[in-house]
């Protein structure tokens, strides 16, 4: 059926060769779109608002990225993790900023805000 669509553009002999190539390309593009959808669907975001992390506890798989979003309109935040196996420091986060953190080690980590000491998030990485 695809060969008939290509008959106007290429010779019938070439169209028989083109069908597997076009099919493979279509399959590859389709798989790529599915994978992109899965990656987007599994995006993990933590809101920083009202001097709190939302959610306050999180479980992720090693290698997953968590994006910290400063949802406050007038407050800076400063996310950091300090442990023997994993550390991260975002620096100051302006309102509206998004800071991705990839958790590369297994364990339980306390995420803190360097500006608001009562802000605490526990991340368990499996």
54 is in an annotated binding site: no
How far apart CA 96 and CA 7 sit, in angstroms, is 53
Sign of the dihedral defined by the CA atoms of residues 64, 73, 91, 107, in that order: negative
77 is in an annotated binding site: yes
How far apart CA 96 and CA 26 sit, in angstroms, is 38
Structure tokens at 98: 């998004």
116 is in an annotated binding site: yes
List, as residue ranges, the binding site: 77, 113, 116
List, as residue ranges, the binding site for Cu cation: 77, 113, 116
């Amino acid at each position: 059926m695809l060969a008939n669509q290509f008959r106007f553009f290429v010779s019938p002999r070439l169209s028989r060769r083109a069908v597997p190539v076009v099919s493979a390309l279509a399959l590859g593009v389709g798989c790529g779109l599915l994978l992109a959808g899965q990656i987007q669907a599994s995006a993990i975001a933590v809101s920083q608002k009202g001097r709190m992390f939302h959610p306050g506890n999180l479980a992720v798989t090693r290698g997953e990225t968590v994006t910290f979003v400063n949802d406050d309109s007038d407050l800076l935040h400063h996310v950091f993790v300090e442990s023997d196996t994993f550390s991260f420091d975002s620096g100051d986060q302006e309102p509206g900023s998004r800071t991705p953190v990839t958790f590369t080690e297994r364990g339980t980590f306390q995420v803190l805000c360097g500006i608001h000491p009562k802000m605490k998030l526990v991340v368990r990485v499996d």
